[in-house]
Amino acid sequence: MESKKRHIVIIGGGFGGIATAKALKNTDADVTIIDRLNHHLFQPLLYQVATAELSPGDIAAPIRSIINKNPRIKVILGEVEKINPDKNTLQMRNGQIIPFDQLVMATGAQYNYFGHEEWAEYAPGMKSVSDALKVREKLLMSMEQAEGLDDSNKRKSLLTYVIIGGGPTGVEMAGAIAEVAGNGTKHGYRNIKPEEARIYLIEAGPRILNAFPESLGEKAKKMLEKMGVKVLLNTPVTNIEKNKVYLKVGSIETINIIWAAGIKASSLLDTLKVEQDRSGRVIVEPDLSIPQYPDIFIIGDSAHRVDKKGMPLPALAPVATQQGKFVGNLIAKEGKRKTNAKFVYTDKGTMATIGRAKAVADIRGLKFSGFFAWALWSFIHVLSLIGFRNRTRVFVEWIWNYFTYKRGVRLITDRSGCMHCTTYEKLHKELLEVHA
């Protein structure tokens, strides 16, 4: 007697979801991946889209293309509204009910404004292509506006950049902005002197890159300062308005505010009604399933799992990828599932780039910085991209940028022709208002 075909559902086409799908290539089950967007995004390089070095298409790939070789895997573009863990079903936003035998939630994270959701409008985070393009447009537009003003006092706040949060994203953004804004003349802005750009990296805690060894955090800080970035430690942000960031002491006037200060897990997890940590991550079992529901797994930024030292695993691509692979292998074959499987994270190292030929890396306890760390960072990131096409494009772009110092994708896209939005015109007006 043959039973109905088993159905595995994966929510999310990020690092975790794609790794799970790949590990399921020889499964005996039907597999469905659901994502709100049609593409997988290589988030670690998203800051380079925001700073006009790469095109969105260079670091994204359609989910359908990635898993196309496997006829077992189906892709659905849509949003999941809630999970019903007792019935083994999930409900889509359009009302459709999808049953599953096993569910892998790789739903990622979003920026956490710690109860100040109103800040999101003035200080966008960077999680999607759309976020990055928004930051890019603001950045370029403020330089255009500054170029047009003869009074250097008026230019001041247009050329001020505040990045909130001293993790890898904040550090990489600050470095990249220092290179764009500090090289205005190279990009054809003749009125903008390099020394006019003021870039602040603001961190509430006592150090930047706190997931890295302390010496590397210190090194990164020195590198940033040498590039002209003002690094403010122990400086919590108390309020954000349209054109102002309020600190404990004083405030900074600018419309260029970027949020990189913390994340929280996807709110879809709340519908499971199980134990979550302060950031909304679900506390998972050693095999990454959730208590009482052995067929529901949570991986990546959505999962709270501790390492050997009792610290929660960081929200990084390698963690999500390894967890996806682990869960995929665990559930690939029906009836063959190990009962006491346990996920162990292999930390291959952490690295962050700070700018041109400048990076810090900690590879299994080996700490280094400078050109070699940067070359290694570049090499690993190019190799980690999905597909030959994206690898070639990013590689060519980086080589070109290295020799010319130019950033190729300095586009302010005209959204005024767009059906439902007038970002470009509004942005223009906003900037003019602020500087009226």
Does residue 93 come out as left (phi exceeding 0), alpha (psi in the -120 to 50 range) or beta? alpha
Q: Which of 7, 25, 74, 156 binds a second copy (CB under 8 A)?
A: 74
Does the protein bind a second copy through residue 97 (CB under 8 A)? Answer: no
**Least distance in Å: CB of 432 to a second copy?**
7
CA distance 138 to 159: 11
CA distance 319 to 336: 24
Kindly tell me the burial class for residue 311, based on how many C-beta atoms sit within 10 Å of its own C-beta (0-12, 13-18, 19 or more). Answer: exposed
Nearer to a second copy, 337 or 428 (CB): 428
Nearer to a second copy, 9 or 412 (CB): 412
Active-site residue, selected from the candidate residues 2, 79, 117, 172: 172
Among positive and negative, which fits the CA dihedral 176, 178, 180, 186? negative
Q: Which of 144, 241, 270, 347 binds a second copy (CB under 8 A)?
A: 144
Contact in structure between 137 and 423 (CB atoms under 8 Å): yes
Q: Which of 94, 153, 339, 346 binds a second copy (CB under 8 A)?
A: 94
Name, in order, each residue with C-beta under 8 angstroms of 356's C-beta and a sequence gap of 6 or more: 179, 374, 402, 405
Say how many residues make up the chain.
436
Q: Which of 38, 42, 114, 434 binds a second copy (CB under 8 A)?
A: 38
Q: Which of 2, 86, 121, 151 binds a second copy (CB under 8 A)?
A: 121
Does the protein bind a second copy through residue 335 (CB under 8 A)? Answer: no
Does the protein bind a second copy through residue 81 (CB under 8 A)? Answer: no
CA distance 196 to 340: 60
Does the protein bind a second copy through residue 303 (CB under 8 A)? Answer: no
Nearer to a second copy, 333 or 406 (CB): 406
Q: Which of 113, 293, 398, 400 binds a second copy (CB under 8 A)?
A: 400
CA distance 268 to 104: 13
CA distance 430 to 436: 10
Nearer to a second copy, 104 or 146 (CB): 146
Binding mask 175-194 for a second copy (x = CB under 8 A): ------------xxxx----
> Per the structure block, which two tokens stand in for 77?
């573009």
Which one-letter amino acid corresponds to residue 422? T
CA distance 380 to 126: 22
Which of 300, 307, 293, 348 lies closest to 324 in space, CA to CA? Answer: 300
> Per the structure block, which two tokens stand in for 108?
């990622």
Which range, of 50-58, 82-90, 283-291, 341-349, touches a second copy by CB under 8 A?
50-58
Q: Any catalytic annotation for residue 172?
A: yes
Strands 251-253 and 244-247: antiparallel
Binding mask 353-392 for a second copy (x = CB under 8 A): -----------------------------------xxx-x
Number of residues that bind a second copy (CB under 8 A): 69
Nearer to a second copy, 131 or 301 (CB): 131
| Residue ranges in contact with a second copy by CB under 8 A | 36-39, 55-58, 60-65, 67-68, 71, 74-78, 94, 121, 124, 127-131, 133-134, 140, 144, 147-148, 187-190, 388-390, 392-393, 396-397, 400, 404, 406, 408-424, 426, 432
Q: Active-site positions?
A: 172
